[in-house]
Amino acid sequence: MISYNTKDWFTFIFRFHKADTFRQLLPLIIAICIYSGIIAWLELQYWQLSEKSYVRNLPVMHSLLGFAISMLLVFRTNTAYDRWWEGRKLWGSLVNNSRNLAMKLGAMLPETDTTHRSFFRKAIPAYAFALHNHLHKEKTRIELFEDDEHHHLFKQIDHGKHVPNQTAQLLYRYVQQLHSENKITAEQLLFINAELQSFTDVCGACERIKNTTIPFSYSVFIKKFIFFYVMTLPFGFVFQLGFYVVPVVAFIFYVLASLELIAEEIEDPFSGDQNDIPTEILSQNIHRQVAELL
């Protein structure tokens, strides 16, 4: 009987969703097949090169370069994944700090103080949504404050400027106002300062990932390396494989190019692709959990 995991394997192998590299590379794979077929026909049928031809020794070059290209692709993929994982950890930190801030404020503010609780219930997730839209270059939404008594505060934010910074500043001002009104003590103000400061720290780290791209020359070199490596494969391997060199070269190109494509997709975890960090879902989770805590 086929286990659940085995069925998953077959599902992933034979299903080509829109994020799959096979669909993206299909035109190039077809071109590689045509190119390899032409080279095989020329060497075997037209030029009729003998087994004594020096072209037969080209696989020696490929075996030497194979180690170099594999090391480059491993380093490229690891570097891209490190950026993706760092972004995920930052948003995990934002989720936890939002919960901690909501729990601390929930303990400080009386349950009868619905006005101040309502502000923080909306303002804390508003920062997460603002950061999500800032990283994705989208207009910040203000639905959280629509038809709310604090709507006038959020309307003061200039959407042409850095919205997450202004949202964090709004939180600081409101907390300082509570301290001035003796709603919270100086010790309590220090008690929640770490969570308030962490919002801007997370934003700055996410911006560093977003705005610092992999050096262009490095990315271009790998693409050129893969291209010339694959383009020279049919010349030497055709003597051992004949016309079977066509699917073999196409498969090698698919593997090498897919690794480069995957690295390109995950190196920017905030670009909105399917493989990116689900920041909007995380923002919605913050909204729901903060509402429960306050």
Three-state SS for 46-69 is: HCCCCCCCHHHHHHHHHHHHHHHH
Of 79, 22, 43, 50, nearest to 215 by C-alpha is 79
Q: Is the pLDDT of residue 13 over 90?
A: no
Q: Rounded to whole angstroms, how far apart are CA atoms 272 and 36?
A: 36
Question: Is the C-alpha dihedral spanning 155, 156, 161, 166 positive or negative?
Answer: negative
User: What does pTM read for this prediction?
Assistant: 0.82
**CA-CA distances (angstroms) from residue 54 to 51, 59, 94?**
8, 11, 61
Higher pLDDT, 241 or 198: 198
- Whether 44 contacts 238, CB under 8 Å: yes
Round to whole Å and give the CA distance between 243 and 220.
31
Sequence ranges of the domains in the chain: 25-253+265-294
Residue with tokens 């071109």: 31
3-state DSSP assignment of residue 294: coil
Residues 101 and 128: beta-carbon distance below 8 Å: no
Q: Put residue 182 in one of left, alpha, beta given phi > 0 → left and psi -120 to 50 → alpha.
A: left
Can you tell me whether residue 105 is helix, strand or coil?
helix
- Pick from 129-143, 233-247, 275-289 the range whose average pLDDT is largest: 275-289
Residue-averaged pLDDT of the chain: 84
What is the per-residue pLDDT for 26? 86
Nearest CA among 269, 220, 218, 255 for reference residue 82: 269
Q: Which of 97, 103, 39 is nearest to 243 (CA)?
A: 39
Query: For 32-73, what is each residue's pLDDT tens digit?
Result: 999 999 988 887 777 777 666 777 777 788 888 888 898 889
Task: Pick 51 or 82 by higher pLDDT.
Answer: 82
Q: What is the pLDDT of residue 155?
A: 65
Report the length, in residues, of the chain. 294
Model confidence at 8: pLDDT above 90: no
Positive or negative, the Cα torsion across 168, 169, 173, 174? negative
Question: In angstroms, how far is CA 150 from the centroid of its own chain?
Answer: 34
In the chain, the DSSP E strands lie at none
